[in-house]
Amino acid sequence: MARAELSSMGCYLVIPPEPVGEISTLIDRIGRSIPENGTALFGFDFPIGLPRKYAEKVGLTNWRQAIGIFGTPGWERFYGISDRASLHQPFFPLPRKKGEKGDYRAQLAHALCFENLDELLRRCDKKTDTRPNAECLFFTLGPKQVGASVIVGWRDVLAPAVEAIRFWPFDGDLDTLVQQPGIVVAEIYPREAYTHLGIAIGAGIGRSKTKREDRRKACEHLLETVTSDYIKFSEAAKSSIFWGFERDDDFDAMVGLLSMLLVVTGQRDCGLPSDDLAVHSIEGWILGQSAGR
């Protein structure tokens, strides 16, 4: 994770990436570290919300209702990955041997009674003019899969702390939420954040985020373009960027943080569509993603 702290000078000081530590205590630890009447805004790199068509099929109408019942009687198997997916156990498939092929996306869609997996994308998951579709949050196979992190994030991080946190956008607009003491949780997506920061890396670019030198070249401009009266980098954070980060997870954590800071300091709109009830109640949104795109 990467973080920034509001200094006495009124600007956010960016701190270099560090280990998350024990995930079950993460929210409590950060909560205890903020000043009295202070606020912590968490950005998590996994989906927070459900596809509207899936929610309709299972009779869920809002996110707090959903996160509160998953894993309870009637939903005991929800977090279990299976080769026999169902509406109440949707994560699919189990790990496969290298090279084993199959049309697993079509199988998952069929098992959940949908024509194709695109119907299980949230509005914010769909492709934009700068990136392709994100993966369906229930899918658990391949380098693009996000299902495993959804399971850990919802079951082990968010659900145990649900009464202590407020969710954006489900519990209100961001300006209102961050003005109240406590913890606010939002969804971020590094692949989307690249576009917010002018980072060119990935397929078709000729740079891979798994290569340190490519990471260094892709983000060397950040110290000039992001630094402002509101955002400053610690010397350790500068060194981390200059060096190209220790690993790609560190790179994504920093990119996600800087994208959040652009929103928090008013340099970028949160992007939330105002005219879509499902986004506000059940699907959620990626912080900073433009609704028009």
pLDDT in tens, the chain (293 residues): 999 999 988 999 999 999 999 999 999 999 999 988 999 999 999 999 999 999 999 999 999 999 999 999 999 999 999 999 999 999 999 988 776 778 999 999 999 999 999 999 999 999 988 888 999 999 999 888 899 999 999 999 999 999 999 999 999 999 999 999 999 999 999 999 999 999 999 878 889 999 999 999 999 899 999 988 999 999 999 999 999 999 999 999 999 999 999 999 999 999 999 999 999 999 999 999 998 75
DSSP 186-210: EE--HHHHHHHHT---BTTTTB-TT
Residues with Cβ within 8 Å of residue 241, at least 6 apart in sequence: 216, 219, 220, 222, 223, 233, 254
The pTM (predicted TM-score) of the whole model is 0.95
CA quadruple 161, 165, 166, 168: dihedral sign:
negative
Residue pair 113/53 in contact by the 8 Å Cβ criterion: no
> Coil, helix or strand for 105?
helix
What is the pairing mode between strands 182-187 and 12-15? unpaired
- Paired with 15 in beta bridges are 3
The answer, yes or no, to whether the previous bond of 90 is cis (omega within 30 of 0) is no
Residues in the chain, total:
293
Output the CA torsion sign for 109, 113, 116, 121: negative
Distance CA 216, CA 208 (A): 11
